[in-house]
């Protein structure tokens, strides 16, 4: 009888450990997946680094800009330039503009990707409005910067050598729990109103 109780207790501990481990993995999976995508460029997720290479190449490259807003967010959101031509390895700055169309302060969070998906690891962000949540007061319009470069290693990879144009796309979603969000203002952006 004691032997059966020990086996049952051991089985219960093992099952509890498995369930606890699965719950822990579920909570850790989103941040771990995000880090994995930013490191590998999986699913068109751009890399993030602190600075561009010291020297750019003489190879021209185009970056196009796309903007979308979730239907639940009462914002107007657009790129201020349709396209930029730059040299591989050259750091550039682009701006998007967002306007709160509602009569209350709304906070949004942007998700991003690049296409074609296979070049995600070569599109590198240095700084971006998408790294933080953005709070806009009623009727407020702000210009939001993204600093980036295209890694010259894109031409060393036989799978991406054919790519000459990248599209950087953002979609803003509402932040559901407004109580926990502090108003975040982009710094050093021309044309902020409000």
Task: Classify the C-alpha dihedral 29-32-34-40 as positive or negative.
Answer: negative
Domain shared by 150 and 56, yes or no: yes
pTM exceeding 0.75: no
Domain shared by 149 and 82, yes or no: yes
Domain shared by 61 and 156, yes or no: yes
Q: Is 134 exposed, middle or buried (0-12, 13-18, 19+ CB in 10 A)?
A: buried
Domain shared by 167 and 111, yes or no: yes
Domain shared by 134 and 175, yes or no: yes
Domain coverage including residue 9: 2-40
114 alpha-carbon distance from chain centroid: 10
Answer whether residue 111 shows pLDDT above 70.
Answer: yes
Domain shared by 24 and 80, yes or no: no
Tell me the HSE value of 159 on the side-chain side, using a 13 A CA sphere.
7
Mean pLDDT lowest for which of 28-42, 116-130, 172-186?
Answer: 28-42
């Amino acid at each position: 009888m004691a032997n059966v109780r020990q086996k049952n207790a051991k089985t219960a501990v093992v099952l509890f450990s498995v369930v606890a481990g699965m719950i822990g993995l579920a909570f850790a999976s989103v941040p771990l997946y995000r880090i994995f995508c930013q490191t590998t460029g999986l699913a068109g997720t751009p890399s993030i680094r602190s600075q561009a290479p010291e020297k750019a190449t003489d190879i021209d490259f185009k970056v196009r800009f796309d903007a979308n807003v979730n239907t639940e967010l009462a914002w107007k959101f657009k790129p201020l330039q349709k396209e930029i031509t730059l040299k591989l390895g050259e750091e550039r700055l682009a701006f998007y503009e967002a306007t709160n169309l509602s009569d209350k302060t709304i906070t949004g969070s942007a998700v991003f990707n690049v296409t074609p998906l296979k070049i995600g690891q070569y599109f590198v962000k240095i700084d971006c409005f998408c790294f933080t949540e953005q709070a806009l007061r009623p009727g407020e319009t702000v210009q939001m910067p993204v600093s980036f470069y295209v890694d010259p290693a894109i031409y060393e990879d036989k799978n991406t050598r054919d790519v000459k144009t990248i599209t950087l796309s953002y979609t803003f979603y509402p932040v559901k729990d407004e109580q926990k969000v502090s108003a975040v203002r982009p710094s050093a952006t021309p044309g902020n109103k409000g």
